Structure 1
Amino acid sequence: MAKTRKKNIKENKKSKKKVQRRSSLNSHTIQNIIELLNSRPEMGFSLRQIVKDVRIKSQTDKDKLKYIMIALADEGKILLKGKKYQSILLQEEQQNTRTATVDFVNPKFAFLVVDTPVGEEVEDIRVLLPNMNRALNGDKVEFTTFYNRQRKRDEAKITKIVKREKDEFVGQLQISERFAFVVASDRKMFYDLFIPIEKIGDAQNGDKVIAKITQWKQNDKSPTGKITKVLGKAGDNETEIHSIMFEFGLPFEFPKEVDAEANAIPDEIPEDEIKNRKDFRDRTTFTIDPVTAKDFDDALSIRKMKNGHYEIGVHIADVSHYVTPGSLLEEEAFKRATSVYLVDRTVPMLPEKLSNGLCSLNPHVDRLAFAAIFEMDETGKVYKQSFGRTVIHSDRRFSYEEAQERIESKEGDFQEEINTLNDIAHKLRDARFRNGAISFESIELKFDLDENGKPTGLTPKIRKDAHKMIEEFMLLANKRVAESIFRKKQDGKPMTMVYRVHGDPDPDKLAQFATFAKRFGYDLDLTEKKIAFSLNNLTEEVEGKPEQNIIEQQAIRTMAKAIYTTNPEGHYGLGFAHYTHFTSPIRRYPDVMVHRLLQHYLDKGKSADENEFEDRCKHSSAREKVAADAERASIKYKQVEFMSEFLGEEMEGTVSGLTDWGMFIELKDTRCEGLVRYSSMTHDQFIFDPDTMIVTGQKYKETYQLGDEVKVIVKETNIEKRSIDFDIV
């Protein structure tokens, strides 16, 4: 017992000495030491390094540092490995490693989109450039988190790159005497690729090229690569479009074996197949699509019933009949997940034999379809519905313009059927808005191109009744299919289904938008049950006014992004409790999944594997985003090319965006957007206040805010950067 007491007394004395020694250094210095170790958790620091980096100048403090470090190690706050000291972060991190996808925001930081189980959501985590570990946008990575005391938030550190999203980049080659660089076109690739002079091949200075990363050493600022393909001279239409396609990973052609599998499918429909379907070939049936369309996903049939109701069929191309699980066509369709509509071409999800041929609901030929059949009255009330495979024979292929003529003139073939459908569509649309749907729409642009792909004209597309009529019946079919599957239960749970989900808007963003709209004299009621009604009133109030587009665009930005998921969470924008995509399987893979699931459940099948379909949903959502980004890039390229013909000309526009360095102006006639830099406004010094969202000149107090009408001169266009610069008049 006496020995034990003596031992305890000695330990207490040692502990007191440690505390006394530590107390001679202030807590701020000790915190700096820990933060130094945490900044490079994989590295061991010697006492000499710590003294230098933390700037400990007092000889007394230097002498006592060793004892302080040992005390910190004893307390588990740092690690002592031999004669070096190390952060405990790696030890903690090994127990907390997770996976995520990198989403670069700017050259200084990125967010990590964390992988989560079905139904679980976590916030994206910020990771600063020093902690990126050479990861690039889209990479799948492993990461750990730590608390950044200086910024008072959790941040991430990437510990491993699990899978590169891509290692080839398109860009412009810049050659010097002894080496070259490729400046990537990808706006989320913030590193130039260093190219040894012997690795440029036949490429010339200024060429658009594809470069592949071959090496990236730990301490190198930029990756090293080689030129793998020369696309052509910058500015050439084919070069620029191919550049966009490569930048976003779009395929240039189908693999030969996939085309071969498609071409081997017989053109004739076997009689046995027709016998297994509902035969609608005797019903009046037609398609309505853009005048340039070659693939017809959907057709409408209509028949007046004896009881005065209408039998209306929404017939959708039966892609799942031809694209079967395990086939090469299935593999390629899943990989692409969507067709991509660039300004001058389409990158299809399916080979032409299917997309424009067998699957397309072309006129005057028998075609296989998957249909939603409704018995309705003239008010849009549905009395009965059924789903199943059909065979149809389209009587007519209408363009939207031709269908609109029949609506406006009440003349022409099938005008009675089209007007009946249009009247019912109006009722469906009115009911939808009464039930909480939101009516904001993005403005699409139409380019007129010459034989070389150069834009000669640019006008906003106008949506008329013919477009809205088709939209309403597609929405009806999508909604009713989703509701039908949701009601099916297995062990008390809904069957697995692919849903199109649109979450509620962020309350903070809505509040900011309400403040923004108030500047134009519009009031919004943000009471939960009145938001949609209030937003729709705003749409009516701004129609035809100068601020219409800017307000509608700002409203759209407050909304969440729609995604595909197996979670039946509803669609806020449409005001539907359950919604899916059933109506465009030629161009969207999720619709193919929905067709398969619907048929499986019609055949009394058990609930499908939720995890498998959730993974496919995530892939489809990701590919949809890539497609949208590529489409925007091609539009921006053509806008820049179009505006290059108007250098020096004066035009009218509206302030559409404000930043610390300049304001964006959207031109009235063409919707082209460009930047006025404050540095070019030399008559005053302009400063942007993000709280008031107002730009003010410090000398003359001239102000600019969103929605202001201005006159600008087209100063410069840059096809490589896809940018337009203006000067304020």
Structure 2
Amino acid sequence: MLKSKVLMVKTRSGKILKIVREHYLRDDIDNGLVGGKLDDHPPLQNDLVSLEHFLVVDTNVVLHQMDILEQPCIRNVIILQTVLHEVKHRSSPVYKRIKSLIENEDRNFFVFTNEHCIDTWSERAKGESSNDLNDRLIRIAAKYYNGCLKDRNQVAVLLTNDKANCSLAKKDGLNALTVEQYVKNIVGYPELLDKLAKVDESIEVDKSISYPEHLKLSQIQTGVKSGKFYQAKLNISRENYLEGKILCQDEEGKEILIQGRLNLNRAVHEDIVAVELLPKDQWSNPSGVVLDVTVQPGAEIKDEENSKQTVGVPTGKVVGIIKRNWRPYCGILESFGSPEMTRHLFTPAEKRIPRIRIETRQANTLIGQRIVVVIDSWPRFSKYPQGHFNEVLLLEHDVAHEPFSQGVLNCLPPTDWSIPNEELAVREDFRHLPICSVDPPGCTDIDDFGVHIADVSYFIRPGTPIDVEAATRGTTVYLCDNRIDMVPELLSSNLCSLRDDGDRLAFSCIWIMKPNAEIIKTRFCKSIIRSKASMTYAQAQMQIDDPTVNSPVAVGLRGLNTLAKILKKARIENGALSLASPEVRFHVDSETHDPIDLQNKELRDTNSMVEEFMLLANCSVAKHIQQEFPECAVLRRHPEPPQSNFDTFINAAKTRGLELNVESSLDLAKSLDKIEQHREGVHSYISTLLRILATRCMMQAVYFCSGLESDFKHYGLAASIYTHFTSPIRRYSDIMVHRLLAASIGADKTFSELLNKTEVQKVCKNLNFRHRMAQYAQRASVALHTQLFFRNKVVKESGYIIFVRKNAIQVLIPKYGLEGTVFL
């Protein structure tokens, strides 16, 4: 059936425009009850529902209670087209999560296209809002399912936290429950209660505190347009959880300081906020005091701390929240009173996040454990944001860690896969060359150094479930005792690992070079290789250093090492930075997973050799794909830091009588090298310490689409153009680059999403987020294992003061890569 609706619209010029909208209705729409899409006999039992039942959820349940819907026991859920469209419009992250559940065949989440079913569609009533229409369509669909299920002695249960919708549904004779009512009465799963997101009605009011009310979005937009308000991302200080700043996106790049609970006004680190400047007589300066939520949870910045300052910096207050950037947070549930109490305070590991109040009935089990909590809301009259317990994890940073779905596993070749004859015919055969691989000990996802990179894009085709999953995960995450793969192990540790146990498919970058490392010619090709040796850095170094070893592999390594030193010298002379980080490596017990020993990462010539050829390959590929696809090349840039980023760094050097020039990366590199070379009167570790501090002045490197940016430079590498090509097994960016490169040399076809710069930029945005979260998770893992290592130990070790504050000193212990605050 075709329904038409005629709208008469008046244009700006005054003309009347007739718009006809057509809506198709059918009587044969699949409702999922036949054919295995929903169970014949739903297994979940509930004390409030006497019959076998299916769940129909409204939009707000999907938006706010995904942690419940994602629990394995929740199955046979009907997602209406009306709900799915609204969720897609309101929250892209939630939409991705619900789509993932829908695509998981084991979970039986079924999408019913209710707006095209003749039995569930209704026209909008006169004066009815779009929200009321959507609620009515959801009730109509629930009633339709009840009719379908009547002969099977089953029912549909509508889950909604909207009081009006629930009341109207009950008047229609429907089984309508709030999520809390339903979850409380599920048989056999009491722990689900802890995963309920807080709704406003259940939040306790704290009469002792009242934050300013946030302005409405329309008021914020008017204020931003007029210049009264500034909008930007809030960055809370690592040293003071009651102090933050925003960097305005105006021509001046103005920084605005925000100090104190009321001025922060419930904004959380990385929220997009609207800020109003305070009058000049209320401007302040950064306090210089370290405030740590774990040590001083009830502290406040005192006015007298800045009263002697004659000139303050621009200071403001948060008047509204434009976008919340809350994510799951890892931390510890600490004991404040009796463990039998249900309300507890959670302290995040991230010092820039406030304590979160949660309700849990598992406090006896959870106190002292590292758990993940999600913020739900932060009302005006609550000292703390409200949240709910998610799960016990070593990961907090939104890292996808679930097992790969069956749909992803179905994309894999058989375990006994071998290279087919048709591939042998179209690839260059390099199996006769003395190719070897060099990687860290314990590494199994070997990509090989230099020019031969595993051809992952052969196995991961665009648009397949494995491609979608890899794009979502974005990167492999390396923890001290675990590795969370971007792709299944059959690829990461076998077929795409360039080991010395057989033939492998590769993507090769080949240079013709002079002895002085000058490149005469560069070309790219798909190839077949057979590694002659799989070595660690130490093993490769021994082959280079031992003059009695003259195998083709050893001779080749020596030649590459010589070229690498020339390439590195040229990079450094061009302004590339050689910085440092206090990294340590843990040796973990294979059974208990406890750290039993740790050591600083040792760097050899072979580390540098591998790095140089990887950098060279990445630069060569970047230049090529940008020339071939100027509008949609996936590149990586490292923005130049603003000079203000170096202020603390320069002052730290001055305390030791050292001068630093930070005008350019070349000036900075020369300054650091000069200190390294003239260490008379300078402690031997100071030059390393300055390189560590320099890394903290840097901006984040990011992926981007070439057609949407004009600045391609990589500040740290002093490269005019750069990308990632050399690790496609652990970075999705490299897979995208492989596809562009393959299309450019005619080795593979292209596809529409690859050439759509808006879509490419969208993927790049997710990759930047995933890469950042992976870094945070890796650091958190090291911090946790450091704590475990020292759990029952007392040691004496040298430390270095890196910052002095009014009430504390910050100390670095290089041997353990440990940094901490000592309060005075």
For 1:329 and 1:121, how far apart are their aligned partners in 2? Answer: 45
Name the counterpart of 1:619: 766
Mark the CA change 1:146 to 1:364 in structure 2 (over 3 Å): closer, same or farther.
same
Q: 2:561 aligns with which of 379, 399, 422?
A: 422
| SS state at 2:357 partner | strand
For residues 621 and 548 of structure 1, do their structure 2 counterparts lie closer, same or farther at Cα, with a shift above 3 Å needed? same
Q: How does 1:92-241 map to 2 (within 5 A)?
A: 92=223, 103-105=235-237, 106-110=240-244, 129-130=261-262, 134=266, 136-138=268-270, 143-149=273-279, 150-151=282-283, 153=314, 155=316, 157=318, 159=320, 165-166=326-327, 171-172=332-333, 174=335, 176=338, 178-187=341-350, 190-196=353-359, 199-200=361-362, 203=365, 205-211=367-373, 217-227=379-389, 229=391, 231=392
Per-residue deviation, 1:470: 0.8
- Is the 8 Å Cα contact of residues 173 and 182 (structure 1) preserved in structure 2? yes
Q: CA deviation at 1:526?
A: 5.1
Separation in 1, partners of 2:654, 2:215 = 52
AA of the residue aligned to 2:783? K
* Separation (CA, whole Å) in 2 of partners of 1:260 and 1:530: 51
Letter in 2 for 1:431: A
Aligned mates of 1:584, 1:252 — CA distance in 2: 20
Cα contact 2:375–2:387 (8 A) shared by 1: yes
Q: Secondary structure at the match of 1:579?
A: coil
Higher strand share: 1
User: Once the 2 structures are TM-superposed, how far is the Cα of residue 510 of structure 1 from its aligned partner?
Assistant: 4.3
Query: Contact 2:274–2:321 at 8 Å: present in 1 too?
Result: no
* Native 8 Å contact 1:93 1:145 kept in 2: no
Match of 1:601 in 2: 744
In the TM superposition, what whole-angstrom CA distance separates every residue of 1:246-302 from its partner, at most 9, and x where no partner exists? x222233333225423445562222112322222122221100012101111245xx
1:184–1:293 CA distance, 2 compared to 1 (3 A):
same
AA at the equivalent of 2:559: T
2:698 matched residue in structure 1:
559
d(CA) in 2 for partners of 1:519, 1:207: 41
User: Which residue is equivalent to 1:502?
Assistant: 638
Q: Is the 8 A contact 2:634 2:723 kept in 1?
A: yes
User: 1:526/1:378 Cα in 2 relative to 1: closer, same or farther (>3 Å)?
Assistant: same
The correspondence of residues 272-671 of structure 1 with structure 2, limited to 5 A, is: 272-300=422-450, 314-412=451-549, 413=551, 414-451=553-590, 452-488=592-628, 494-510=630-646, 513-525=649-661, 528=664, 530-541=667-678, 545-566=684-705, 567=709, 568-603=711-746, 608-647=755-794, 649-671=795-817
- 1:655–1:663: 8 Å Cα contact kept in structure 2? yes
Between 461-470 and 435-444, the greater mean CA deviation after superposition: 435-444
Report the Cα distance in structure 2 between the residues aligned to 1:352 and 1:507, rounded to whole angstroms.
Answer: 45
For residues 388-419 of structure 1, give each alpha carbon's deviation from its aligned partner in whole angstroms, at most 9, with x where no partner exists: 22121111111111100011113434211111
Are 2:328 and 2:372, in contact at CA under 8 Å, matched by a contact in 1?
A: no
Q: CA deviation at 1:355?
A: 0.8
**Deviation at 1:469?**
0.8
Q: Which amino acid aligns with 1:219?
A: F
- The range that moved more, 323-332 or 107-116, is 107-116
SS in 1 for 2:581: coil
Contact 2:454–2:497 (8 Å) recurs in 1: yes
Change (3 A) 1:425 1:91: closer
Q: 1:282 to 1:524 in 2, by over 3 A?
A: same
Q: Residue 367 and residue 403 in structure 1: after superposition, are their counterparts in 2 closer, same or farther (change >3 A)?
A: same
Q: Which runs of 5+ in 1 are unaligned?
A: 1-37, 44-86, 232-241, 301-313, 679-729
CA 1:485 to 1:445, structure 2 compared with 1: closer, same or farther past 3 Å? same
> What one-letter code is carried by the residue in structure 2 that aligns with 1:589?
Y
- Letter aligned with residue 297 of structure 1: D
Which residue pairs with 1:252 in the alignment?
401
RMSD over aligned Cα atoms: 3.6
Give distance in 2, aligned partners of 1:126 and 1:334. Answer: 37
The one-letter amino acid of 1:658's match is V
Separation of aligned partners in 2, 1:190 and 1:518: 32
Q: Deviations over 1:541-577 (max 9, x none)?
A: 4598132331221222333332222335211222211
**Cα distance in structure 2, aligned partners of 1:166 and 1:622:** 12
Equivalent-residue separation in structure 2 for 1:443 and 1:210 (angstroms): 27
- 1:284 partner amino acid: P
Inter-partner Cα distance in structure 1 for 2:317 and 2:632: 34
- In 2, distance between residues paired with 1:589 and 1:40? 42
Return the alpha-carbon distance in structure 1 between the equivalents of residues 467 and 626 of structure 2. Answer: 26
CA deviations over 1:130-157 (Å, ceiling 9, x no partner) = 4666554455x5x544332233747574
1:593 maps to a residue whose letter is M
Question: How far has the Cα of 1:164 moved from its partner?
Answer: 5.6
Relative to structure 1, the CA distance from residue 454 to residue 377 in structure 2 (aligned partners, 3 Å threshold; closer, same or farther) is same
Pairwise CA distance, 1:435: 2.1
Identical columns (%):
29
Query: Per-residue deviation at 1:173?
Result: 5.2
Alignment CA distance shift 1:276-1:122 (3 Å): farther
Paired with 2:556 and 2:536, the residues of 1 have a C-alpha distance of 15
The aligned runs of 1:50-129 (5 Å cut-off) are 92=223, 103-105=235-237, 106-110=240-244, 129=261
| Alpha-carbon distance between aligned partners in 2 of 1:135 and 1:509, rounded to the nearest angstrom | 23
| Closer, same or farther: CA 372–541 of 1 in aligned 2, 3 Å | farther
User: Could you report, residue by residue, the CA deviation over 1:603-661 in whole angstroms, capped at 9, with x for unpaired residues?
Assistant: 497992223222222222222221111111111222223234432x4332222232222
TM-score, length of structure 2 as denominator length: 0.61
Distance 1:505 1:40, change over 3 A: closer
**Are the equivalent residues in 1 in contact too, given 2:504–2:530 (CA < 8 A)?**
yes
What SS does structure 1 have at the residue aligned with 2:469?
helix
Q: 1:203 to 1:214 in 2, by over 3 A?
A: farther
With over 3 angstroms needed to count, the CA separation of the structure-2 counterparts of 1:590 and 1:114, relative to structure 1, is farther
Aligned partners of 1:110 and 1:524: how far apart in 2? Answer: 27
Measure, in 2, the Cα distance between the counterparts of 1:669 and 1:92. Answer: 52
Give the AA of the match of 2:672: L
Question: Greater Rg, structure 1 or structure 2?
Answer: 1
Cα separation, 2, equivalents of 1:527 and 1:366? 50
Which residues of structure 2 form unaligned runs of 5+? Answer: 1-210, 284-312
1:669 match: secondary structure: helix
Query: Contact conserved, 1:439 with 1:536, CA < 8 A, in 2?
Result: no
C-alpha distance in 2, partners of 1:189/1:516? Answer: 23
